[in-house]
A and B are shown apart, each in its own frame.
Chain A
Amino acid sequence: MSIDINTVRKVAKLARIRTNDADAEVLTGELNNILSMIEELNEVKTDGIEPMTSVIEMNLPERADEVTDGGMPEKILANAPEKAAGFFVVPKVVE
């Protein structure tokens, strides 16, 4: 199954990557090559096989639900592109 340029535009939108028409055109060809390689997986019989989540056969470790870290707002904000009064600043999202 091959994808067209509109699908590429839609996926780019879902992935929040702005893509101009020329890039979308090139990507359509490249992604189709990759997808046709991936589709060779359809040759494999996988009936009754559970999808693998982890190569390690172990239960996810649990710990007590308590605060173990925190109290460092300066460190958390140190790399923020824009900050004010202890908050991250983003463009206005509420009209």
Chain B
Amino acid sequence: MTKLTSLTIKEALDGLKKKEFTATELTEAHIKASEAAQHLNCYITETYDHARAQAKESDARYAKGEAKLLDGVPIAMKDLYCTEGIRTTAGSKILENFKPPYESTVSGNMFSDGAIMLGKANLDEFAMGSSNTTSAYGNVINPWQRKGDNKPLVPGGSSGGSAAAVAARIAMGATGTDTGGSIRQPAAFCGITGIKPTYGRCSRFGIIAFASSLDQAGPFARTVEDCALLLQSMAGYDPKDSTSVNRPVPEYFKSIGQSVKGLKVGVPKEYRVDGANPEITKLWDKGVDMMKAAGAEIVDVSLPHTKYALQTYYVIAPAECSSNLARYDGVRFGLRIDGKDLNDTYEATREAGFGKEVKRRILIGTYVLSAGYYDAYYNKARRVRKLIWQDFINAYEKCDVLLTPTAPTPAFAIGENEQDPVTMYLNDIFTVPASMAGMPGISLPVGLSADGLPLGLQLLGRPFDEETVFKAAGALEKAADFTHLPQSLQAKAA
């Protein structure tokens, strides 16, 4: 029998149905693998006993023939999702002892579908970062390494723990959130698949807020089909989130394997940036050829405001973050550092509780929203955002999906890109535009760099047309046939 931790979710569900193994066995195999991979620091809080109890319930449902969509599948939950009674930190010291008295809608949906939670996955503090190095609970280590170099690499961010756990085969899937690329970029860095659905597709209720007009939940897995299964469980209307959209959730997995003959794949010229990494450009060209060979029609398109997406993001996201994070005041929950009066208590609490990157973003946000600058910065950015959105709408008159690189480089070493915040921000150059426009996007591994690191490509689609995104991704996945494993797993397999 194949090792339980190397199965896809689809294969595991089939095996469970055929009683080849139990949910308890599947869960124990993943707990054992998690314990052996502790040095990767994927989890802030391990919830193994909780997982064992869920597995027992799952086995009971299989025995009665009442198994659900994800029954018995062990996953990692990004520690930004509130889980009732289970510590939820958002990667921040300010929530070190926070135990939510309620469940986020998305995690609740997955548990109702039988998913098993192994742990709360590490992340950049409040999801602000592209390398998982802003977490108050330590860096996550990417299971991949450069050839002939054992320098620890970042898993990407902000959903770094989630992506590393799936890549290291210690979880079959994971949840993430994507505000400017926080699902797609770590998926690319870790050689796995991750999708950010359309804004409004998954409820944000109970997901700790960073930038409310951008935050969106989505899954990680090792195949496109597994992502489709996870997203089907996560998505859906929720009256508790006023931006949740009331539309039926399709059976996404049915899109995979469908022919892409005649599908129009747009290639935006503005993503060919000056000084681009030639390996990334080569991979992109290869992806275009693969889609062409699969029967798709390649169309050149233009998204003229692409070069302003990052600047727009770094006004709007910090502005929203400064408002959302005002709630951490040391009064109702979270850390409190006592001061000489109430204002002093606020200031001391927030100084001690927030890390450097979070403080920077709160300050930028406070500045761009302050009297005299609101129009010059915040409203200006919101106007440019409209133009970015319009670019996508115009492009989708000529094509069905867009194909671009996910990230400008492969995974970098811990400590690199830290000299200046703006250098780190450039990581999100290819993912931010679709975030600004609320469009769905998937990243999947398509090849390796010369030094043996995974490289991903991104497919973007029309609003609420995840089905076409899955269809195109299924075709690209088949053509790319990415079967490489992180070095640590190769050693074990040998």
Contact = CB atoms under 8 A, between A and B. Distances in A.
B367 A3 contact: yes
Interface string B294-330: 0000000000010010111011000000100010011
A90 B261 CA distance: 65
Contact of A16 (B311, B350, B370, B383): B350
B482 interface: no
B381 A41 contact: yes
Given A31-B364, A41-B381, A88-B331, A55 B199 contact: yes
13 contacts: A3-B367, A16-B346, A17-B354, A18-B347, A35-B367, A41-B380, A42-B380, A56-B463, A58-B245, A79-B333, A81-B330, A82-B336, A90-B331
A50 B354 CA distance: 34
Interface in A49-77: 49-56, 58, 60-61, 63, 72, 75-76
B437 A55 contact: yes
Interface string B366-389: 111010000001011111111101
Contact of A49 (B242, B363, B387): B387
Interface string A26-47: 0100110111011111111010
Given A15-B322, A37-B310, A81 B336 contact: yes
Q: Is the interface of A mostly helix, strand, loop or mixed?
A: loop
B351 A81 contact: no
B334 interface: yes
B317 to A, nearest CB: 11
A91 B332 contact: no
Interface stretch (B69-77, B120-128, B283-291, B337-345): B337-345
Query: What range describes how many residues of A lie at the interface?
Result: 35 or more
A58 B243 CA distance: 9
A11 B360 CA distance: 11
B101 A78 contact: yes
Nearest to B310: A37
Given A56-B438, A61-B239, A41 B311 contact: yes
Contacts of A79: 97-99, 101, 332-334
A17 to B, nearest CB: 5
B359 interface: yes
Contact of A61 (B242, B389, B425): B242
A91 B350 contact: no
A34 B366 CA distance: 14
B343 A41 contact: no
B242 A44 contact: no
Contact of B333 (A19, A52, A61, A80): A80
Nearest to A47: B383
Contact of B363 (A15, A40, A63, A91): A15
Given A11-B363, A44-B383, A90-B331, 13 more contacts: A16-B347, A18-B347, A27-B360, A33-B421, A34-B314, A38-B315, A41-B377, A41-B380, A41-B384, A72-B101, A79-B333, A80-B332, A81-B330
Given A17-B354, A17-B362, A33-B421, A51 B308 contact: no
Contacts of A60: 242
A17 B347 contact: yes
Of B97, B384, B420, B421, most A-chain CB atoms within 10 Å: B384
Contacts of A81: 330-331, 333-336
B384 A44 contact: yes
Contact of A56 (B200, B344, B366): B200
A78 B87 CA distance: 12
A92 B332 contact: no
Contacts of B421: 30, 33-34
A53 B335 CA distance: 32
A16 B379 CA distance: 24
A31 B213 CA distance: 23
